[in-house]
Structure 1
C-alpha cells in the first residue's frame, strides 16, 4: 500500500475501480497531470525537466501500460471515457480541487474529452500535438505529411526503414511489435532527427509500448470527432504543436484553436511531434506562462 503523501516526489500507485493506477511526481508549483500518447506508449518519453521547474508535474502511467494495471478486457476497452475515469480517481486521490492537464498526441484526445465532460475539475488544459478527429481524414493528412517528410529527407540512410515502419502500423498486434514500431517511426516525429541523431539515440532505445487495440469492450472502434463540440469548451485552453509534426500537425492545431473559445496557439517552429524534447525551453515557457495565468 502506498502510504506516502500523494504529491511526494517519486512513484506512487492508487487503486481506481479495482485497477492499479501508477503515477510519478516531480517538480513544484501548481499541479499538472501529464497523459502520454499512443495509446499504449509508456510514460517516460514525456518527462519534462524544464516544465518541472514551474509545476508539480504528475506523470500518469495510463492504465494498460507500464506498472499500471490491465483491464479484464485487455487489449480492448481502453476508450477515452475509461481513461477519463482513471483520471477522476487519480485527481480525487491527489486531493486537489482543480488541476492542469497536458495531453500529448492520443493523450490530447483524452484531455479534450476530459475538458468537455469534466470541466469543473480542470484549471486549464494543454492540447499538445493533438487533433479534433481520428479516422480516414486524419490518416490522409498524416500520409501527405509523411510524403513531404520523405521528400525532405531523400537520400538519408535510415529513411526507408522509417517508411517501412509507417506502412506496418496498421498490422500491429503485440507489445513487441508496438515497441519496435514506436522506435522505428521516431525519426519522422523529430524535425531534424538525422542532424541530431546522437542526441536522440537514448530516447529511441528507451521508448516502450503495449498493444492497445483501439476497440471498446464490444470490439467497436473508439473513433473521435470533437469538432461539433469544440464551441462548448469552457476550460482555458493552450494548443501546442510542432511546425513539422507529421501525425497531428498545424492543420489540426489550427482547427482546435479556432474552434475552442479563447484558446491560444503556440507553434514550435523547430519541432516535430516531440517539442518538449526538441525545444524544451520554448515548450516549458509556453506551458508555464499559461499555467501561471490560469492557476487558482
Structure 2
C-alpha cells in the first residue's frame, strides 16, 4: 500500500504551531516559493487567490494569526503589530525549509511585507508590495477620502452607491467580526475599477469574511506606520504594483514606494482598482512571475 508523503509545501491546507499559536496556510501551484500575505488586517485569505500566478509559482497563502482558522493571541483583538506578524512569518518560513522566499503583501499585508524586508532582508529573495503605502494615519486617510469622492462622482446614479458610501463611513466604528465582514463586502464596488458593468464576474468576491483586529498593540497603543525615512535602506529586490484606480493605496503611494526604494520596479495596472489580481489577472501574474524569475536568478 502506497502512502502519500506530505511535506510543508505539499498542495493543500496546512497548520503549524508557532509559539503556541496555530498558523494556517494554503499551498497551490509549482515553481519558486512566494508567500502571499492578505490585507485588512483581518480579511480571509481566499480573496487573494491567484490561479494565473500558480501556473508558474508555488503560492503559499498565509492565513495570518488572529484571522480565519489561525490561532488568536492572548490579547485578541489587540497585539497584532507588524512585528508580531513578522515573527509568525519567521516561524512559517523556517517550517517551509526554504532558504529565501519571495514575499507578496497586499494592502495591509504590504505594510507587513515592507517591515519584514526592512528588518529581515537575509530571509527574502524579493518582495512584492501590492497596493501598499509607506505611511498610514491622517495623511493616508485624507488621500483615500479624496479618492472616494472621485469614485462617488464618477459613479453617481449607480444602484448601490449609497451602500458603498455607508460602508466607507462605518470604518471608524468597527468593533466585531460581523461589522468587519459587512464593511468589507460593502466596500468591494469601490475596490474595483469597473464593478457595475462586471457584477457577475466579481460575485464570488462577496464571500470574503473579516475578523476584527484593533490595530493596537497589547498595551493598547496604535501600531503607527511611516516607513518613508527607511525606504532608502531597502536591501531586497522590490516590485511595486498598484491599480490606477485604487482608492486606498493607489498610484501616489506606489510612486512614493518606488521612488524611495533603490532599484524598485513599478507596475501600474491601468484597468484595475485595489484588486488587480482579479481585474487583470494575466497582466498581474506576468509582472509577478517575471520579477520572481529575475530576483531568483540573482540569488542562485
How high is the TM-score relative to the length of structure 1? Answer: 0.98
The aligned counterpart of 2:6 is 4
Root-mean-square deviation (CA, aligned residues, Å) is: 0.6
The aligned counterpart of 2:162 is 160
CA distance in 1, matches of 2:200, 2:7: 39
Q: Structure 2: any 5+ residue segments left out of the alignment? A: none
Deviations 1:94-114 (A, max 9, x none): 000000000000000000000
Q: Structure 1: any 5+ residue segments left out of the alignment? A: none
Q: Structure 2 matches for 1:145-156, cutoff 5 A?
A: 145-156=147-158
The aligned counterpart of 2:114 is 112
The aligned counterpart of 1:188 is 190
CA distance in 1, matches of 2:6, 2:113: 27
The aligned counterpart of 1:240 is 241
State the 4+ residue runs in structure 1 displaced beyond 2 angstroms.
none
1:28 and 2:30 equivalent? yes
The aligned counterpart of 1:266 is 267
- Across the two proteins, how many residue pairs are aligned to each other? 293
CA distance in 1, matches of 2:19, 2:261: 32
CA distance in 1, matches of 2:51, 2:230: 33
Deviations 1:11-68 (A, max 9, x none): 0001111100000000000000000000000100000000001100000000001110
Deviations 1:122-156 (A, max 9, x none): 00000000000000000000000000000110110
CA distance in 1, matches of 2:147, 2:169: 14
Deviations 1:213-264 (A, max 9, x none): 0000000000100000000001000000000000001000000000000001
Shift of 1:4: 2.5
CA distance in 1, matches of 2:291, 2:9: 22
CA distance in 1, matches of 2:76, 2:37: 19
The aligned counterpart of 1:280 is 281
CA distance in 2, matches of 1:287, 1:116: 20
CA distance in 1, matches of 2:145, 2:68: 30
CA distance in 1, matches of 2:270, 2:281: 12
The aligned counterpart of 2:56 is 54
CA distance in 2, matches of 1:63, 1:229: 26
Shift of 1:198: 1.1
1:92 and 2:86 equivalent? no
* Secondary structure class of the residue paired with 1:195: coil
Deviations 1:66-98 (A, max 9, x none): 110000000000000000000000000000000
CA distance in 2, matches of 1:114, 1:203: 28
* Secondary structure class of the residue paired with 2:34: strand
Deviations 1:154-176 (A, max 9, x none): 11011011001100100000000
* Secondary structure class of the residue paired with 1:141: helix
* Secondary structure class of the residue paired with 1:120: helix
Shift of 1:191: 0.2
* Secondary structure class of the residue paired with 2:202: helix
